[in-house]
Structures are given as structure tokens and as C-alpha cells.
Amino acid sequence: MTTKLSKTEQRTRRHRRIRAKVSGTAERPRLAVFKSNSYMYAQLIDDTKGATLAASSDMGLKGKTKTERAKLAGAALAKIAKEKGLESAVFDRGGFIYTGRVRAFAEGAREGGLVF
């Protein structure tokens, strides 16, 4: 008999599947995205060292909607990455569907100059 998984467990399984294929290096870090009900968080991670190179969130950003704030947070992360000499990244959507805030964040990062 199969048991029904919660939304969180389903997302965690999807994320594990993605992480089996996606890994970040110092030259091309992994852009990991997490969204809660209120905010959006992202980090550029070097998986070889297990170190966070840059981080950003939409907490405290001025935007009318969560989607607008996510786009601004993506641009802010791209700016931080540029300052640290990082040009490209590998996108890790964290098990979330690529639409809405996740997509807005990715577009903001791309517009800020990050390539992925």
C-alpha cells in the first residue's frame, strides 16, 4: 500500500533528483533557490568546497508583489556575483516548478548579467 507524501516531501525528492545531476564549482557555482510563503532566498554555492560564495533574498526589498521582489533579488545577486568575478552559474530550482517567483528570480539574475 502506498502512502501519500506531503508537499514538502515531494519537493525534497524532486530536489534530490536535481542535485544528483547539478553541481557547482568555483568557476561556475550552483545558484540554489528557495522560496518560502513570504520570501525568496538564493545562494551561489561552490560544491567542491561546500562554501557559499554569495547570497541574496527579497527580504527588505521594495516591490509591490512577491514576483517583483524576486526579480529584484535576482538582479541583486547578479550584481554581487559580478563584484566577486563570477560570470556564470548552474541553476538549481530546488524542486520548485520553474514558474512565477522562481522564473522571475532567474530572469532578474540573467538581466543582471549572470549567465546560465
36-49 per-position pLDDT tens digit: 999 999 999 999 99
Mean pLDDT to the nearest integer, 1-5? 83
How many Cβ atoms are within 10 Å of 42's Cβ, its own excluded?
29
Q: Does residue 3 carry a pLDDT above 90?
A: no
- Give the three-state DSSP class for 83: helix
Closest listed residue to residue 55, CA positions, set 36, 79, 38, 37: 79
Q: If we measure between CA atoms, which residue out of 92, 93, 102 comes closest to residue 24?
A: 92
pLDDT tens digits for range 67-78 = 999 999 999 999
Percentage helix, strand, coil, to 5, in the chain?
Answer: 35, 20, 40
Q: Which CATH number is 7-112 given?
A: 3.30.420.100
Cα separation of 80 and 99, whole Å? 24
pLDDT of 1 higher than 90 = no
Is the pLDDT confidence value at 57 over 70? yes
> Could you give the CA distance from residue 59 to residue 68 in angstroms, rounded to a whole number?
12
Q: Would you list the domain boundaries of the chain?
A: 7-112
